[in-house]
Amino acid sequence: MILDRFRLDGRVALVTGAGRGIGRGIAQAYAEAGADVVVAARTVSAIEETAEQVRERGGRALAVPCDVLERPDLENLVAETVSQMGRLDVLVNNAGGWPPKPALRTSEREFEAAFRFNVTTAFLLTRFAAPHLASGGAGAIVNVSSAAGRLAQPGFAAYGTAKAALSFLTRNLAAEFAPKVRVNAIAVGSVETEALGTILNDELRATMESLTPMGRIGTVEDIAACALYLASPAGGWVTGKLFEVDGGTEATNFRMPQADL
């Protein structure tokens, strides 16, 4: 049965930024597909809640407090996963983000911090996880990138450049880790989460919807469905690819002003 290929029975998945939003949606989807899920973020109550949702769906769950910006937290996250769950098959590097800001008002420190949050943390966690992902025989990494990493637009010098780097890191690591570990990324369009909610008002929503060919903002389930394909045997012949899940967006749906030079 083709749907059986989307199952993750017996697999252990680790999702960063799983306390809410896209990360929580992916954790729920993986649990529904039969996986045990390790959920990581900084806020303990939020990851405990996601862990409970995983258990309600029949999976084992482990909530591990983790700030991805802290290297010891990343090492501990992998160590806890392997010692308590026994294996690690799927890594989702989802924690990330950065607000749009004009390039000329973006400091060197902010530019480097955006890169560290979106790229370096995923690279480091991948390094710690890779040997375990390889030993299970079905290793998969899903990097949560952004449409901002492929569409040139004002206001996204830091975030867009960082996500473009994450997307290319995906291709480089896929070449290096094949055939034991597959590495893919999702170029996520505008999705209804708290992160987007910080800038979304009625007027902006209407503009974004009118500039999105599919006529709506995305849901976490839209992204989770792709993340499940990429993590499961259904995506077993796919590596080094960037999946654009964005309602058909080919140009920015969020217009920031050009620089006043």
Ligand X SMILES: NC(=O)c1ccc[n+]([C@@H]2O[C@H](COP(=O)([O-])OP(=O)(O)OC[C@H]3O[C@@H](n4cnc5c(N)ncnc54)[C@H](OP(=O)(O)O)[C@@H]3O)[C@@H](O)[C@H]2O)c1
Q: What is the DSSP string of 62-82?
A: EEEE--TT-HHHHHHHHHHHH
User: In a 3-state reduction of DSSP, which class is residue 224?
Assistant: helix
Catalytic residue check, 159: yes
User: Given 6, 30, 98, 159, which residue is catalytic?
Assistant: 159
DSSP code at position 191: B
DSSP code at position 258: P
Q: How far is the CB of 52 from ligand X (least distance, A)?
A: 15
Q: How far is the CB of 253 from ligand X (least distance, A)?
A: 10
Contact present, 147 and 254 (Cβ < 8 Å): no
Euclidean distance between CA atoms 199 and 192, whole angstroms: 11
Stretch that binds ligand X, among 62-70, 106-114, 134-142, 250-258 (CB under 6 A): 62-70
Structure-token match 């993590």, residue found: 231
Any contact of residue 41 with ligand X (CB under 6 A)? yes
Q: Which position among 119, 165, 173, 191 is part of the footprint of ligand X (CB under 6 A)?
A: 191
Q: Which amino acid is residue 225, in one-letter code? A: A
x-marked contacts with ligand X along 76-115 as a string, rule CB under 6 A: ------------------xxxx------------------
Any contact of residue 51 with ligand X (CB under 6 A)? no
Any contact of residue 200 with ligand X (CB under 6 A)? no
Residues 6+ apart with CB under 8 A from 157: 101, 103, 106, 111
Stretch that binds ligand X, among 3-11, 19-27, 172-180, 206-214 (CB under 6 A): 19-27
Q: Which position among 8, 13, 23, 224 is part of the footprint of ligand X (CB under 6 A)?
A: 23
CA dihedral sign of residues 213, 219, 223, 226:
negative
Any contact of residue 190 with ligand X (CB under 6 A)? yes
Q: How far is the CB of 179 from ligand X (least distance, A)?
A: 27
Q: How far is the CB of 72 from ligand X (least distance, A)?
A: 13
In sequence order, what E strands does 8-130 have?
A: 12-16, 36-41, 61-65, 90-93
| Residue (of 122, 88, 61) closest to 114 by Cα position | 122
Helix and strand numbers (H, E) in the chain are 9, 7
Any contact of residue 252 with ligand X (CB under 6 A)? no
Q: How far is the CB of 102 from ligand X (least distance, A)?
A: 19
Euclidean distance between CA atoms 234 and 3, whole angstroms: 8
Closer residue to ligand X, CB minimum distance, 17 or 59 = 17
Any contact of residue 68 with ligand X (CB under 6 A)? yes
Any contact of residue 66 with ligand X (CB under 6 A)? yes
Please identify every residue annotated as catalytic.
Answer: 159
Contact residues toward ligand X (CB under 6 A) are 16-23, 41-43, 46, 66-69, 94-97, 144, 146, 188, 190-191, 193-196
